[in-house]
Amino acid sequence: MTHDPTDQSLGELVAVATRDLSLIVHKEVELAKAELSAEFKRAGIGAGLLGGAGFIGFFAMLLLSTAAALGIADGLDIAVWAGFLIVGGAYGAGAGLFAALGLGKVVKVGPPQRTIKTVKDDLAWVKHPTVAPDPQLEELRASHQP
């Protein structure tokens, strides 16, 4: 098979176009997987922080609040329930801090920006095949080859 399109039959041209389109789709899927795995890792860290917030908050409240509340009530000469209220509020604030940190990590998870850009470039090229592809995108695709 020759590289001059004018010497190729319609069937050969369709076969080449199909092969090229299949390669583009395969590379886009690989790029999406690479991007999403990084995003899922970030989401996992955020979920772990949220889980840690719940774990720490629950056990801290159970194990330390009794001793601290009784100590505060005795030291300040106030009612026992007021001591428990002070300690419970402090632990709640700590758990809230961990929850805010975890939520901040989860919220940062976004769509696969590079894949979206390369798909748009591919669609633009399919509509106008005389336009040269973006060289940066070609380098990006080459860097994600197996």
Q: pTM value?
A: 0.39
The answer to whether residue 82 is domain-embedded is yes
Residue 51 is assigned to a structural domain of this protein: yes
Residue pLDDT, tens place only, 14-64:
888 888 888 888 888 888 888 888 888 888 999 999 999 999 888 877 887
Q: Count of domains in the chain?
A: 1
In a domain, 71, yes or no: yes
Could you tell me if residue 2 is inside a domain? no
How far are the Cα atoms of 15, 28, 58, 96, 105 from residue 99, in angstroms, in the given order? 55, 35, 13, 5, 10
Residue 91 placed within a domain: yes
* pLDDT at 1 (0 to 100): 46
CA–CA distance, 9 with 90 (Å, rounded to integer): 78
pLDDT digits (tens, 9 = 90+) for 98-118: 999 999 888 888 888 888 888
Percentage with pLDDT > 70 across the chain: 83
For residue 1, being part of any structural domain is answered with no
Q: Looking at the domain assignment, is residue 3 inside a domain? A: no
Domain that holds residue 36: 8-143
- For residue 139, is it within any domain? yes
